[in-house]
Structure 1
């Protein structure tokens, strides 16, 4: 039986890599993104028959409801077995705390944490139906960040949104199981500049010092996160967990020269 996976923030970066990864693995993919141009480029790089693109502000309750109603119609013969809550504002830096505007704070939280809540809630009937059809637990994988457990200066809103994602993950895991398993991937330094839409894409070359911060010997790629998501989808006895995918960066002690 064919299965469907819904991925938010699918037009660029980790979301784009995950979309192409799961299409290559034979999944049908419902790709959601606020950037219609990025979605249009994704269509050109993929197999349209198994890809549904949905321009959607996943921080909007109304738009999320419309999108998942459309997904429900599209998945009648290929149940929605997985949801990846990947959407977020990528730039973590918001400036000094005393200068952070409340509207900007809410924008960071809405793009990631509120979006994960809205999309999970909207997807839940479809995920439960998939479990009934396949006899296997459906999955939600939330894309968190290593910044949920460690911080850089002036990243308050981003860190708070990802910390909330971690808490939402274990809260949903204990409430939605056994029909739905819920886990989180915490990316570290993942290079996404070469995975943007064409108008923003950059060629990237990392310094040896950049690579040397990672015991794995390199900076991460969006494909690394797609593979971690795939791991969770197949790990039937794993739920409520948070997996650091950071090349070992968060366990390395760094001293000033």
Structure 2
């Protein structure tokens, strides 16, 4: 269903963003791969997407916290004349236990919000014209998918600032879904634990393994979701398969919310 679609995926050098791009590539999508600092990973992902069948792949460096970078990322897709989907996947955190209030500063909050909340807003604003053009060309709404987290629903996760930023992203998803209808659908996914290098980079290999083992032992499905698992949901929301959905916060956490 992504055949011929034009899609921007932010933060797509690795992890969930890369997995999403590769699924779309298999159906011949045109893709903008975005990275902030991991150029080699982004180029590798782009080459894999080309081999998988992507019609075109453009790699663009840009920090979504910066409005001028958001505009530049979108400008890379301008020659296509339209966008069918924008996946706001870029994100960041600081790993701080929730009771250690003194280890989380105002600067930490501002940096995390700038990328996790303000960044998606700026990307939507920059891409709006191309997304509307995509809707008019296809005769159906184009799509925005915000990658949020169960942290934004339950107040859990790597830090209080991270949970707060994702909670704000969730409510912003609802606001944008009203503001941009009927031409643009806006939904968010709220994954639980994802077995990617995200935890290893933030916590170290030993603690990351402890987190993974703890999650598997506690969630009802007894699994650690992979990036590919979650990417399937992202692509569902980014493609016409979900053409009647907007303003939804879709939780995909292996039943974590049932475990208490």
Same fold (TM over 0.5): yes
1:62 aligns with 2:64: no
**Comparing 107-116 with 23-32, which one deviates more in the overlay?**
23-32
Say what the alpha-carbon RMSD is for the aligned residues.
2.7
Shift of 1:216: 2.0
Where does structure 2 lack aligned partners over 5 or more consecutive residues?
Answer: none
Shift of 1:246: 0.5
Aligned mates of 1:86, 1:21 — CA distance in 2:
15
1:84 aligns with 2:61: no
Aligned mates of 1:201, 1:194 — CA distance in 2:
11
Matched residue, 2:179: 175
Kept in 2, the 8 Å contact 1:13–1:196? The answer is: no
1:135 aligns with 2:132: no
Which aligned pairs between 1:35-54 and structure 2 lie closer than 5 A? 35=37, 36-47=39-50, 50-54=56-60
TM-score normalised per structure 2? 0.86
Aligned mates of 1:159, 1:209 — CA distance in 2:
20
1:30 aligns with 2:35: no
Residue-by-residue CA offset, 1:70-93 (whole Å, 9 max, x unaligned): 2212x23xx310001111115443
Which aligned pairs between 1:182-201 and structure 2 lie closer than 5 A? 182-193=186-197
Point out the structure with the larger helix share: 2
Aligned mates of 1:152, 1:117 — CA distance in 2:
23
The aligned length equals: 247
1:20 aligns with 2:22: yes
Kept in 1, the 8 Å contact 2:96–2:104? The answer is: no
Kept in 1, the 8 Å contact 2:70–2:123? The answer is: yes
Which aligned pairs between 1:209-228 and structure 2 lie closer than 5 A? 210-228=215-233
Where does structure 1 lack aligned partners over 5 or more consecutive residues?
Answer: none
